[in-house]
Structures are given as C-alpha cells and as structure tokens.
Amino acid sequence: MKTTMVNLLLVLFVFYCGTLAFIFFKQSSFIFFSTGISKSQEIFLRQFSHFEVNINHNGFDLHGWFINREFSPEHPLIIYYGGNAEEISNNLFDLKKYEKESLLFMNYRGYGKSTGSPSQSSLFSDALFIFDHISDTYSIPSTNIILMGRSLGSSVAIYVAKQRHVKAVILITPFDSLVNVAKDHYPFFPVKLLLMHPFDSVQIASEITTPMIAIIAGQDRIISNERSVSLVEHWGVKSHYVTIKDADHNSISNYPKYWNTIRLFLSKMAKSSV
C-alpha cells in the first residue's frame, strides 16, 4: 500500500513538472492569439485603403490605419492598443462613433499584416517607436495624444504613458499585472516564476500623473474587477472607473454606455485644453 502511494505521488509529481514545462515553453501561444486578415476581410477593408500605413521598426513591417484629421488641443490624436486576440482592423467600423479626433490603429507583430512574433518587449518597443514616428512626422506634440488600451493593450498604453507626457489615457478592461491575472486562473502553479511576459503595469502606475479613466465589464470572467480596480487605485493621480454591469470581457464595446463614457471623457479633456 505504501509503495503504491509513493508511486502515485511520483506520477503526479512528474505530471505536474511536465505541465509546468509545457506552460513555460508554450506560454506565448497562450498569451498572444495573433490573427491574420482573411481574403474576405481584405475585400471588405478596401474601402479604408487610403488610411493604410506601414512603419518599419528593427526590420519588422508594422501595418495599420491612420485616420489623419485636423489636429488641435480640442481634437487630439487617439492611439489605440488592442487586446491579445484583437486584429485591429475591426475598429475601423466604429469610426463614426468618434468625432473630429484623429485615430491610429496599428497591429502588433504577427497580427494582421504586421510581420514578426509578439512579446512584451516587442510590443513595448514598437509602441514607443510608432508613437515617436507619428508625433515627429506629423508634428503632433505628445500632449495632444490620448492613449487608449484594451485588455492586454492597457499595459502597452501604460508603458507609453510612463515614457511620454501624453494628454490622457483611456483603459478598457485593464489589469494590474498579468501575474495576478494568471494567479486567479491557475492558483496551483508558480506563475510568477513561469511568466516571461508579466505585463506588470501596477509597478509603474503610481509614477504616472496623466488623467485616466478605466471602463470595466461587470461580468468579466477573464480579468476580474478586482484586478482592474487595483490598477486604478495605484494610479499616480486620483482617477475613476465606470463599470458596465451587464457587459463581459469581449462584449463591453457593444454597450452604449461604453461609447458615452468615452465621449464624455474626451469632451472633458477638450474643455481642459481651452
């Protein structure tokens, strides 16, 4: 009986270690769900071809869409950073929900038509390069740029906001740290030791004094409300959040309250420029 129990424990230990090894080496595919653009999508997206931009960074071609309108303190540029499974072109169908703001939608490496493979370091370095490239090329001061990040993209927006003095930040279903999110889902694994892409936004949030609003999905089962609120509470200046109680992680932008909140915040930022 004792031998049987020892053998069982040994099998469980080997299985556990094997699972840890599998998670460690395959984690990028669990974190980044890079999606291409299908032929049918390409046909549908032709109507936006005049907005297309390609930016080369470190030998990688980064592709997206730049809706270049009249820049002013009241009408800033919004740079949007998508979620981990978000091919960015879907945002083009929401253009009418913005007013006179200019918009930049760029796919991460490996997403859409962008080349390369995504990682925390590449997302951060590409985002900063793109920010500076657009700012310099079109003579847009950083203080006339608003960063908007959704889910994983919230970490990218926060990283750029730490490096550059921007006008404001809008965060949608954000989280304090991917380590904490992983702990919520996998409490039996030492995720802090395993994660190569920790996206630890809470570590720098307190250093950022840019105005910020967070929009949270009340029924989010991917990023708990606790993780989102934790980030807001650590922000460098007093910030607030809006909860859309019936929305889940993926449906939040389908609710009128989502767009009303964004519009109200943009209006507030425009008035602060006058």
- Which pLDDT score is estimated for 76? 94
Q: Do residues 130 and 55 make contact, with C-beta atoms less than 8 angstroms apart?
A: yes
User: Is residue 104 one of the residues assigned to a domain?
Assistant: yes
- Which pLDDT score is estimated for 189? 67
User: Is residue 243 one of the residues assigned to a domain?
Assistant: yes
The 10 Å Cβ neighbour count of residue 13 is 10
- Which pLDDT score is estimated for 75? 86
Q: Residue 48: which CATH number?
A: 3.40.50.1820
What whole-number distance in Å separates Cα of residue 48 and Cα of residue 85?
Answer: 21
**β-sheet bridge partners, residue 214:** 171, 241
Task: Provide the number of structural domains found in the chain.
Answer: 1
Q: pLDDT (tens digit, 9 = 90+) per residue, 113-132? A: 999 999 999 999 999 999 99
Please report how the helices 152-163 and 120-137 are oriented relative to each other, as an axis angle in degrees rounded to 10. 50
- Pairing label, strands 102-106, 77-81: parallel
Q: Do residues 201 and 155 make contact, with C-beta atoms less than 8 angstroms apart?
A: yes
- Which pLDDT score is estimated for 72? 77
- CA 262-237-133 angle, to 5 degrees, is 65
User: Is residue 251 one of the residues assigned to a domain?
Assistant: yes
Q: Tell me the residue ranges of DSSP E strands in the chain.
A: 52-57, 60-67, 77-81, 102-106, 145-150, 168-172, 212-217, 240-244
The 10 Å Cβ neighbour count of residue 97 is 12
3-state secondary structure of 170: strand
- Which pLDDT score is estimated for 271? 78
What whole-number distance in Å separates Cα of residue 239 and Cα of residue 156?
Answer: 19
User: Is residue 118 one of the residues assigned to a domain?
Assistant: yes
The pTM (predicted TM-score) of the whole model is 0.92
User: Is residue 3 one of the residues assigned to a domain?
Assistant: no
- Which pLDDT score is estimated for 40? 82
The token pair at 74 is 């009241």
- Pairing label, strands 102-106, 145-150: unpaired
Write the DSSP symbol of residue 250.
T
Nearest to 267 by CA among 184, 211, 215, 229: 211
CA distances from 167 to 58, 144, 145, 248, 273 (A): 28, 6, 5, 28, 9
Write the DSSP symbol of residue 223.
S
Give the chain's residues under pLDDT 70: 1-2, 5-30, 189, 191, 193-194, 273-274
- Residue matched to tokens 């796919």: 107
Q: How remote is the C-alpha of 60 from its chain's centroid?
A: 20
Residue range(s) defining the domain that contains residue 172: 32-271
User: Is residue 22 one of the residues assigned to a domain?
Assistant: no
What whole-number distance in Å separates Cα of residue 147 and Cα of residue 149?
Answer: 7
